[in-house]
């Protein structure tokens, strides 16, 4: 809406300037010949076309700025979603590893699974903490 009002204001200003230069000149429009009157009308249409082209150019620039901002927000959201997917995959892999260690312990397979399980749990907790922060970032709208 502001853009339309801007165009109307520009066109009104051009019309006023043209009207003042032709009609309110000291000699008035009567002193102009037919050729000069046609030339002034032709100039008026040329000015109107120039103002319209400048207005269209300004609209294109504003639209491009808006689209660039939207693209930046979308890229940030995609990056956060990819980080969440990666962290979820790491947590699932840690769960699978812990389950495998539990089965090996139950089967009596020898190994230092207690230390390995504690290392995996620490990493899994770190991944969960980071995942929770990413979820808060996405849900909080901090992108």
Q: Where are the domains of the chain?
A: 2-140
The C-alpha atoms of residue 49 and residue 43 are separated, in whole angstroms, by 10
pTM of the complete model beyond 0.85: no
| CA distances to 9, 74, 130 from 48, in Å | 12, 39, 59
**Digitized pLDDT (tens) for each residue of the chain, 143 residues in all:** 677 777 778 778 777 777 776 666 656 666 667 787 777 778 778 877 887 888 888 888 889 999 999 999 999 989 988 888 988 888 899 888 888 888 888 877 777 777 788 888 888 888 889 888 888 888 875 54
Coil, strand or helix at 64: helix
- Residue 94, number of CB atoms within 10 A of its CB: 20
Residues 6+ apart with CB under 8 A from 107: none
């Amino acid at each position: 809406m502001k853009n339309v009002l801007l165009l109307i204001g520009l066109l009104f200003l051009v019309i006023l300037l043209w009207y003042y230069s032709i009609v309110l000149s000291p000699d008035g429009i009567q002193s102009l010949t037919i050729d000069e009157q046609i030339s002034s009308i032709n100039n008026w249409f040329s000015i109107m076309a120039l103002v319209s082209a400048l207005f269209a150019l300004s609209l294109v620039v504003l639209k491009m700025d808006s689209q660039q901002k939207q693209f930046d927000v979308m890229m940030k959201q995609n990056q956060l979603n990819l980080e969440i997917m990666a962290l979820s995959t790491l947590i699932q892999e840690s769960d699978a590893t812990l389950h495998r260690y539990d089965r090996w312990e139950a089967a009596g397979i020898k190994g230092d699974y207690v230390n390995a399980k504690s290392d995996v749990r620490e990493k899994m907790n770190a991944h969960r903490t980071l995942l929770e922060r990413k979820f808060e970032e996405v849900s909080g709208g901090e992108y």
